Structure 1
Amino acid sequence: MTLLKPGDLRSKDLATFLWASAQLNCALTPEQIRQLELAALRMLDHGEYDYFADNLVDTCLSLCTLGHYSKELINAAEELKAAQKRQRAQPKVDSRLNVLRSAVAIEQPSIAKVKKERAFKEFDGAPAYLLKDRPDLKKYAKELSGDADVEGVDVVCPIVGINLPSLRVQTMGAQESVYFVELLTAEQTLKFSKKPTSLIRLKKRLLESLGRKVVVLNSIKMATNAKELHQLFEPTANAGEESKVAQGVGN
């Protein structure tokens, strides 16, 4: 069987491969990431993204999810998308580009076009349409609010562009703190590993990069009070596996 090299791929194939790698949280080495980035840069140089800015945006976002930022690719994605925007609307691509902008602003502010303050809105309430199918989130917020050590619970969307509601839980007492709680749905969980999808993992990493405490829960492992939230956070803080991703900048 012939081994397929990154240079043999089309731009769409490369974007799909990187998306799958990010979704499955594949442990690619820095050398492999760099090889894939170089393949994308060659495609950019050959004009393969000129009419397919969506493939370039997806490639940049997947690289970002894997912990790598390519300044040249990101700048090119911004330029190509701006040119295409004058021709036709692409709301889904624009949405993914907004996520990328927020990630760059938070983790790589030196190359960002958006200020960190515009990417992180800690108290921005989640819009009603995102909560329409989330009775579980509203019910859980009510349950946590009933705990004596919980000062308040807000349903928020703190990272601009990532339209996945979180619970911002303010606790009181000896372990006073603020937690962002991610209550996973079936759609936000990988089928076999039961791990969070790539967007949830990226959101968690960005919040942790901002120094926030994040607890990811599902229906099997819930916390009903402030003490349990603190206990669940401890293993996450000790492991730190997502927040220690190598956040290199290429080019």
Structure 2
Amino acid sequence: MRVLLIEDDDRVAGALSVNLTRQRMDVDRVGSAQRALERLRTGARHDVVLLDLGLPDLDGLVLCKRIRELCDVPVIMVTARTDMSTRLHGLHVGADDYVTKPFDPRELVARIHAVTRRATRVPPPDAPADQDAASSAASSAPAVSTVIAGPGGVRIDVERREVTVDGESVPLTRKEFNLLAMLARQPGIVFTRSRILAEVWDSAWVGNQRTLEVHVAAVRAKLGVAGVIETVRGVGYRFPAG
């Protein structure tokens, strides 16, 4: 696995590079936003980007947005900024995950594996193996729409991975869309936090609970529609029915 580490602090970068190398990862380290963009523009392949926000030439949040304009490589922000507004902004501009310093290197490695697993996952084919059975089912059952309507003019096109509110497109990150689509496919059904983490994050680790809350808040803020994701206190979340 090849990691692009964007970190201007030599001490932090050195320690992190050692830990990642021990996990059989190839680390390509740069210390500025300009050098990071140069690497990505050359077409060099990276499986994941670790992005510090306090860079000398450009704020990491702005850099993340520019990275998203170039490619769809998974981005994990690794920073000392812990405030909720920065976390939400990071997810808005396209980060896949957010890890705050100081952190356990084992946690970061686990998150790297999680985001790269999601990025490379190939969805299973929808068609059944028995084509005769498929034809029979198709002739007797009505077509299932991939567009789901929600409150306040929200429409979710599952097949195209598009979300609109009153006809206006709302850009969501990969995990934000997966979270919303998972709930919307079964309106009225309460999904526990552990189930959402298992299906969207490929992890039941309790440390991801905060990440889930941040993503729910980000989806709500982007859609700007009250009640589109309902909180069931002590249990989890659901998409409203009807």
TM-score by structure 1 length? 0.31
Higher helix share: 1
Between the two structures, name the one with larger relative contact order (CA 8 Å, sep ≥ 6).
1
Give the TM-score normalised by structure 2.
0.31
